[in-house]
A and B are shown apart, each in its own frame.
Chain A
Amino acid sequence: MPQEYDLTLKISRYDPDTRRSWIQDYHLKAGRILRFVDLFRKINDEQDPTLAWRSSCEHGQCGTCGMKINGKPLLTCELLVERAVGLFKTHTFNVEPLTAARVIRDLAVDLENAYERVHFVKPYIIARAATHPDGDEYRISPRTLDAYVEATRCINCFCCATACVTQRNYLGPNAVLANIVRLMDPRETAKEKRLDILYGEQGIPRCRTARACSFVCPKEIDIAHFIALAKEGAFRPEPSSTR
């Protein structure tokens, strides 16, 4: 196992001032446990300070550093050089921004733009159910929670939306999942409103069950499973639900 790799990063560049796009090659030596965000920092330090990219927590929790590496959307703060070489069986990597939102510059995309689809599904409780008579808290049974707790791990990194077969006229897997989380949440009573969004023109009728969302999800959420639950009619409205 080599301690150092000779890598070539073919990075998609975009200059918003001139609206010019091009691919720029960077050659660098990197240790096997460096992450891709470390490689971008190394390029900034040693070769090209103008390369724009973004990251925040760098612990796979914020979803800011999502990019496409050799076509695969993933979090670059989690991708070690050694793992990338093993996964793609090459030392040359195409690095592109996610396609789920407009590119601001180079590898940085406008996440606010991407979040509009998540905001559309109202990723919060619209109408809260009454709390337990003995206290202020709302009690959820472990069994109920188990059914959807996996889906609550979504960090909205938009890797799934980038991998999805349907790139237009679709809310995207993560936004649909945010809606499904609240449909499965017993504290939410506005189920019919949520179902209207879910089965609406930009909702699950646009899902093609390619399962690319589950395949690329950095948090290993089986998003396709939750969307398929909606297709099989697992979230039927209850008579008491409000609009």
Chain B
Amino acid sequence: MNTSIQRTGIEAYLTGILERSEKLSYYARAKGWGFVMTWAHRIAGLILVLYMFFHIYTLSALYEPAVFASKMKFVDNFVFGFLEWALAVPVIFHALNGARLICYEAFRIRHDALMIRWVFFLGAVYVLTLAHLMFMGNQQVSAGLFWLMVAIASTIASSIVYKKLRHTQNRLLWRLQRVSGAFLLPMVSGHMFFMHLNFQAGHDVDTITARMSGMGIKIVDFVFVILVFFHAGFGLYTIIGDWVEDRRLRAGLSVVASFVMAVFAYAGVRIIFSM
């Protein structure tokens, strides 16, 4: 089954740059770009787990609006702005690459080389659009309408995946990982977009509290937080399972990872319902 496709000029140029990295090209030649993508997916996921901890910690300052405002003032500079933008790279890569894997595993889409192209193309479009929004910083959108659209898209995506996988004999948590991934694709990418439509949307304490006070947003955020921490927790569980041979140590580490995720999920839910 040959799924390789011809490279365009620009792709050949970009691949040439990537292949200059001795480590990347070593693994790409030895085990294929799919192998490199899998490791990149895993590393991006770990970065996002760490960021989620930091994000919940930062948001916990919302209990004291003055403290939150001072923290936001501290991060209001080019360096933090750049880091916020750079975070979009692992976010969108993990989301789109996850979608590629679901397409391959559940929907028999075997044009993997083409799918990898789409991951990079759509990822580039996303991060460039986000950069544009961040520079402009003057966009307004109805929060209710925006989140309604995103919630509908997430529900449709996760329902399609659920419907496809529900009768398979895959383990329940394995299936939930795919379903939650499909839900989070529009949700996480929408979340980053929304936060950078204008500066106030993601940084001004009054704007954030006002937005989070609506019951509709609370429900969306609640589902969002639960699925993010489930997805992250199961991701860590699979990494532990892939690396730790000792059954007891594996079980112990899995319990610790689940506990930490549960604590942060609880902290996130508490913030949502205290606004």
Contact = CB atoms under 8 A, between A and B. Distances in A.
Interface of A: 68, 70-73, 87-88, 163, 165-170, 195, 198-199, 204-206, 208-212, 214-216, 222, 224-225, 228-229, 231-233, 236
Given A168-B242, A232-B108, A72 B165 contact: no
Interface stretch (B47-55, B80-88, B168-176, B211-219): B168-176
Contact of A231 (B38, B170, B238): B170
Contacts of A224: 34, 104
Given A199-B171, A214-B32, 20 more contacts: A71-B26, A72-B29, A169-B245, A198-B169, A199-B169, A205-B174, A206-B242, A208-B242, A209-B38, A209-B104, A212-B35, A215-B31, A216-B30, A224-B34, A224-B104, A229-B108, A231-B105, A231-B106, A231-B168, A233-B170
Interface in B216-253: 238, 241-245, 250
Contacts of B30: 68, 70-73, 163, 216
Contacts, number: 103
Contacts of B243: 168
B120 interface: no
Interface residues of B, number: 35
B242 A169 contact: yes
Contacts of B108: 228-229, 232
6 contacts: A71-B27, A71-B31, A170-B242, A210-B38, A225-B1, A229-B108
Given A169-B241, A205-B174, A232 B29 contact: no
Given A72-B31, A87-B29, A165 B170 contact: no
A236 B167 contact: yes
B109 to A, nearest CB: 10
Contacts of A70: 26, 29-30
The 4 A-B residue pairs whose C-beta atoms are closest, nearest first, are A233-B168, A215-B32, A71-B30, A210-B38
Contacts of B29: 70-72, 87-88
Interface string B81-116: 000000000000000000001001111101010000
B169 A205 contact: no
B74 to A, nearest CB: 39
B61 interface: no
A73 B32 CA distance: 12
Contact of B242 (A71, A165, A225, A231): A165
Interface in B157-190: 164-165, 167-171, 174
Contact of B31 (A168, A210, A233, A236): A210
Contacts of B105: 209, 228, 231-232
B34 A215 contact: yes
Nearest to A87: B29
Nearest to B101: A209
B38 A232 contact: no
Contacts of A169: 241-242, 245, 250
Contacts of B35: 163, 165, 210-212, 215
A92 to B, nearest CB: 13
A211 B28 CA distance: 12
B39 A165 contact: yes
B56 interface: no
B153 interface: no
B170 A168 contact: no
Contacts of B241: 169, 206
Contacts of A222: 1
Contacts of A211: 32, 34-35, 112
Nearest to B37: A210
B145 to A, nearest CB: 36
Contacts of A214: 32
A137 B105 CA distance: 36
B27 to A, nearest CB: 7
Nearest to A216: B31
A6 B241 CA distance: 44
